[in-house]
Chains A and B, each alone.
Chain A
Amino acid sequence: MMLALEMYRSPAKYLAAKAVGGRIPGILTGPAAPLRLVTINEPKAERDGWARIRPILSGICGSDLGMVTGATKLYFSAVVSMPFVPGHEIVGELLDDCEDLPKGTRVVMDSVLTCAARGVEPCEGCVTGNTNRCDRITVGHVAPGLQTGFCRDTGGGWGNLMVAHRSQLYAVPDGMSDERAVLVEPLAGAVHAALRAKVEPGQSVLVSGAGAVGLFATLALRELTQAGRITVVAKHAKQRELARAFGASDVVAPDEVFRGVRRATGAFRLKQDFSGGEFLLGGVDVAVDAVGSKDSIDTVLRVTKAGGRVVLSGMPASGADLSPVWFRELEVTGTYASAREEPNGRPAFETALELAGRAPLDGIVGARYPLYRWREALDHAHSAGRLGTVKVAFDVRAS
Chain B
Amino acid sequence: MSRPGFVLEVDDRTPPLLVHNGEGFLLERFPQGTRVVYPPEALPPVRDVDEAIQNALLNPIDSEPLPELLRAGMRLTIAFDDISLPLPPMKKPDIRQRVIEAVLELAAQAGVDDVELISANALHRRLTPNELREIVGERVFRSFFPDGKLYNFDAEDRDNLTHLGQTRHGEDVEISKRAAESDLLVYVNVNLVAMDGGHKSTSIGLASYKSLKHHHNSHTMIHSRSFMDHKASKMHHSAWRMGEVLTSHVKVFQIETTLNNDIFGGPLEFLQKREWEWSIKDQASFLATKRGLDVAPAKLRHKIFTDTRSNYGLTGINAGAIEPVHEKTIEAVHRQHLVEVQGQSDVAIMGVPFVGPYNVNSVMNPILAACMGLGYYFNSYRGNPVVRKDGAVILYHPVDYEFSQLHHPSYVDFFEEVLSESTDPATIEAKFEKQYAEDPWYIHLYRTSYAYHGVHPFYMWYWISHALDHCGDIVWVGANRKTVERMGFRSASTLSDALEMVSHSVGRSPSITYLHNPPHLLADVR
Q: Do chains A and B touch in the complex (CB under 8 A)?
A: yes
Please give the residue numbers on chain A whose beta carbons come within 8 Å of chain B beta carbons, in ascending order.
250, 252, 256, 259-260, 262-263, 266-269
Alpha-carbon distance A262/B405, docked complex (angstroms)? 13
Rounded to whole angstroms, the CA-CA distance of A259 and B401 in the bound complex is: 15
**Least Cβ–Cβ distance between A282 and chain B, in angstroms:** 8
For A252, the chain B residues whose CB sits under 8 A away are: 416
**Are the CB atoms of B440 and A263 closer together than 8 Å?**
no
Task: Mark interface residues in B134-176 (1 if CB within 8 Å of A CB, else 0).
Answer: 0000000000000000000000000000000000000000000
Instruction: Give the shortest distance, in Å, between A348 (CB) and chain B (any CB).
Output: 34
B441–A266 contact, CB under 8 A? yes
* CB < 8 Å neighbour of A260 from B409, B416, B439, B444: B416
> What separation, in Å, do the CA atoms of A252 and B420 have in the docked complex?
12
CA distance A263 to B410 in the complex (A): 8
A280 to B412, CA, bound (A): 17
Min CB–CB distance A228 → chain B (angstroms): 15
Question: Does B131 lie at the interface of the complex (its beta carbon under 8 Å from any beta carbon of A)?
Answer: no
Residues in chain B near residue A262, CB distance under 8 A? 441
* Interface SS majority for chain B: helix
The 8 closest A-B pairs by CB, nearest first: A263-B413, A268-B441, A266-B439, A259-B412, A263-B417, A266-B440, A262-B441, A259-B413
B416 touches A259 (CB 8 A): yes
The residue in B409, B412, B416, B444 that gathers the most chain A C-beta atoms within 10 A of its C-beta is B416
> What separation, in Å, do the CA atoms of A263 and B419 have in the docked complex?
14
Instruction: Please count the residue pairs between chain A and chain B whose beta carbons lie under 8 angstroms apart in the complex.
Output: 23
Contacts of A259 in B (CB 8 A): 409, 412-413, 416
Task: Give CA–CA (A98, B373) in the complex, Å.
Answer: 73
> How many residues from B make CB contacts under 8 Å with A?
9
User: How far does the alpha carbon of A259 sit from the alpha carbon of B405 in the complex, in Å?
Assistant: 10
Residues in chain A near residue B409, CB distance under 8 A: 259
Which residues of chain A come closer than 8 Å to B417, judged between CB atoms?
250, 260, 263
Whether A267 lies near B441 (C-beta < 8 A) is: yes
Proximity bits, B98-113, A CB within 8 Å = 1, else 0: 0000000000000000
Q: How far is B409's CA from A260's CA once the two chains are assembled, in angstroms?
A: 11
Question: B441's contact among A250, A256, A269, by CB below 8 Å, is which?
Answer: A269
Interface code B400-440, partner A: CB below 8 Å = 1, 0 otherwise? 00000000010011001100000000000000000000011
Which residues of the other chain, B, contact A267 by a CB distance below 8 angstroms?
Answer: 441
Closest to A259 in B: B412
- Determine the chain A residues whose CB is within 8 A of the CB of B440 once the complex forms: 266, 268
The residues of B that contact A256 with a CB separation of less than 8 Å are: 416
Q: A256-B416, A259-B412, A266-B439 are in contact. List 17 more A-B contacts (CB 8 A).
A: A250-B417, A252-B416, A259-B409, A259-B413, A259-B416, A260-B413, A260-B416, A260-B417, A262-B441, A263-B413, A263-B416, A263-B417, A263-B439, A266-B441, A267-B441, A268-B440, A269-B441
Q: Which residue of B lies closest to A250 (CB)?
A: B417
Residues of B within 8 A of A269 (CB): 441
Q: Tell me the nearest residue of chain A to B454, going by C-beta.
A: A263
Minimum distance in angstroms from B92 CB to a CB of chain A? 33
Residues of B within 8 A of A263 (CB): 413, 416-417, 439
| B416 surroundings in chain A (CB, below 8 A) | 252, 256, 259-260, 263
Q: How far is the CB of A284 from chain B (nearest CB, A)?
A: 15
Q: Which residue of A lies closest to B440 (CB)?
A: A266
Minimum CB–CB distance from A246 to chain B (whole Å) comes to 18
Give the docked Cα–Cα distance between A263 and B421 (Å). 15
Task: Offer 23 A-B interface pairs, CB within 8 angstroms, sorted by A.
Answer: A250-B417, A252-B416, A256-B416, A259-B409, A259-B412, A259-B413, A259-B416, A260-B413, A260-B416, A260-B417, A262-B441, A263-B413, A263-B416, A263-B417, A263-B439, A266-B439, A266-B440, A266-B441, A267-B441, A268-B440, A268-B441, A268-B444, A269-B441
List the A side residues contacting B413 at CB < 8 Å.
259-260, 263
Closest-by-CB residue of A relative to B414 is A263
Q: What's the nearest-Cβ distance from chain A to residue B18, in Å?
A: 37
Contacts of B441 in A (CB 8 A): 262, 266-269
A268 and B409 CA atoms in complex are apart in Å by: 12
Task: Determine the residue in chain A with the shortest Cβ distance to B438.
Answer: A266
Name the residue of chain B whose CB is nearest to the CB of A268: B441
Q: State A269–B445 Cα separation when bound (angstroms).
A: 10
